[in-house]
C-alpha cells in the first residue's frame, strides 16, 4: 500500500476510536453527574422540557374531556389531591414535604400547572406519569372517575385563596368499589402492568426492559414451573391468587401484597404464561 493511503487509513482508525471511545468513556467513566442536588444544565433542561411538553401535547390530543363542573366530582378531587398530590406538590399556603422538596426537577406548583396546561394534558400526565421526573403514573392506582375528579379539582385550584383552600379541607377519600376485570386477559396489557406493580425491581423477566434484579427468582420459563412460591401448584387461578395476595399464601415471604387488581393479575398471568 502507498504511504499516502496508509496515512489516511491511520487517520480513519484514530477518528473511529475517538468517535466511539469518547462517548463510551463518558458513559462508563461515570462522568455525567446524576445527583438531584444540582439542576440540569441549560441545554439539557431545554431538551428534556421541550421533549416532555411536545410528547404530552401530542398524546393528549385524542383525550375526550368529560364534563368537569360537577360539585361532587370536584370535592372528590380535592380529597384525592390532599391524599396523593400535596406531599410532593404542596398546595396554596402549604409547603411540599421533604420527599417533594428533594426532587429534581422540582414538582410543579399545581395552581400554575392548572393555568398553563389543558385539562386533557393534565389528565394524561396524572394517568401516565412522566418517566425520570418522579411523577408517578396513577392509571393503575385510580380509576377513570378519580383521575377526572383530580382534573376537575385542579381546574378550581388556582381560583382558591390560601385561606379558602385551607377552609375547604376534605376528609380522606373513601375507597371506591373494586374495578371490574377486563373481559379477556391480555398479555400485552400484562407486560405493561408488570412495570406498574414494581415486579421488575425484584425479578429477572424476559421481555421486560430493566427487569434484571435478583431479589427473587428469575421468571424465565415460569409457564413451565410446577410449583409457585414452593407452595402452590402452578395453575392459572393459583397464579392470579399468588400475584394478588402472596402474603396470604406465604405470610413470612419477602414478596409483598402489591394491591394488584383482579384484572391486572389476570393480564400479568397471561403475559407470564407466554414465558415458556
Partner 1 sequence: MSALPLSPMRATLLALALALALSGCEGRAVPVGGASKAEVERGRLLLRQFGCGTCHRIPGVAAADGDVGPALDALARRVYLAGVLPNDPVNLARFIRDPQAFKPGTAMPDMGVGEAHAADMVAYLQTLR
| Interface residue list for partner 1 (CB under 8 A) | 14, 17-18, 21-22, 24-25, 27-30, 202, 204, 214-218, 220-221, 224-227, 229-231, 250, 252-255
Rounded to an integer, what distance in angstroms lies between the CA atom of residue 268 and that of residue 146? Answer: 23
Q: How far is the CB of 221 from partner 1 (least distance, A)?
A: 6
Rounded to an integer, what distance in angstroms lies between the CA atom of residue 155 and that of residue 113? Answer: 9
Q: How far is the CB of 218 from partner 1 (least distance, A)?
A: 5
Q: Toward partner 1, which CB reaches closer, 102 or 206?
A: 206
Q: Contact at 8 Å (CB) between 188 and 207?
A: no
Q: How far is the CB of 206 from partner 1 (least distance, A)?
A: 11
Residue 33 burial by CB count (10 A; 0-12/13-18/19+): exposed, middle or buried? exposed
Q: Toward partner 1, which CB reaches closer, 10 or 178?
A: 10
Q: How far is the CB of 21 from partner 1 (least distance, A)?
A: 5
Q: Contact at 8 Å (CB) between 81 and 88?
A: no
Rounded to an integer, what distance in angstroms lies between the CA atom of residue 169 and that of residue 153? Answer: 12
Rounded to an integer, what distance in angstroms lies between the CA atom of residue 154 and that of residue 114? Answer: 6
Q: Toward partner 1, which CB reaches closer, 1 or 31?
A: 31
Q: Toward partner 1, which CB reaches closer, 107 or 246?
A: 246
Amino acid at each position: 500500500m502507498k504511504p499516502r493511503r496508509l496515512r489516511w487509513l491511520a487517520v480513519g482508525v484514530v477518528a473511529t476510536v475517538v468517535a466511539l471511545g469518547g462517548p463510551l468513556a463518558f458513559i462508563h467513566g461515570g462522568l455525567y453527574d446524576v445527583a438531584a442536588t444540582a439542576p440540569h444544565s441549560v441545554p439539557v433542561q431545554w431538551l428534556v422540557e421541550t421533549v416532555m411538553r411536545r410528547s404530552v401535547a401530542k398524546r393528549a390530543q385524542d383525550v375526550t374531556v368529560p364534563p368537569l363542573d360537577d360539585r361532587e366530582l370536584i370535592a372528590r378531587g380535592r380529597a384525592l389531591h390532599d391524599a396523593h398530590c400535596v406531599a410532593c406538590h404542596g398546595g396554596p399556603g402549604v409547603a411540599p414535604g421533604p420527599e417533594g422538596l428533594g426532587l429534581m426537577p422540582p414538582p410543579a406548583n399545581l395552581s400554575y400547572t392548572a393555568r398553563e396546561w389543558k385539562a386533557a394534558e393534565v389528565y394524561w400526565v396524572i394517568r401516565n406519569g412522566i418517566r425520570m421526573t418522579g411523577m408517578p403514573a396513577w392509571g393503575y392506582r385510580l380509576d377513570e372517575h378519580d383521575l377526572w375528579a383530580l382534573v376537575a379539582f385542579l381546574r378550581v385550584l388556582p381560583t382558591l385563596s390560601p385561606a379558602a383552600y385551607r377552609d375547604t379541607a376534605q376528609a380522606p377519600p373513601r375507597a371506591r368499589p373494586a374495578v371490574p376485570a377486563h373481559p379477556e386477559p391480555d398479555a400485552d396489557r400484562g407486560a405493561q402492568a408488570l412495570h406498574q406493580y414494581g415486579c421488575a425491581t425484584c425479578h429477572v423477566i424476559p421481555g421486560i426492559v430493566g427487569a434484571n434484579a435478583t431479589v427473587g427468582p428469575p421468571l424465565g420459563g415460569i409457564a413451565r414451573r410446577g410449583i409457585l412460591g414452593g407452595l402452590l401448584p402452578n395453575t392459572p387461578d393459583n397464579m392470579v391468587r399468588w400475584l394478588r395476595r402472596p402474603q396470604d399464601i406465604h405470610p413470612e415471604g419477602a414478596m409483598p401484597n402489591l394491591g394488584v387488581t383482579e384484572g391486572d393479575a389476570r393480564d400479568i398471568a397471561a403475559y407470564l404464561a407466554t414465558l415458556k
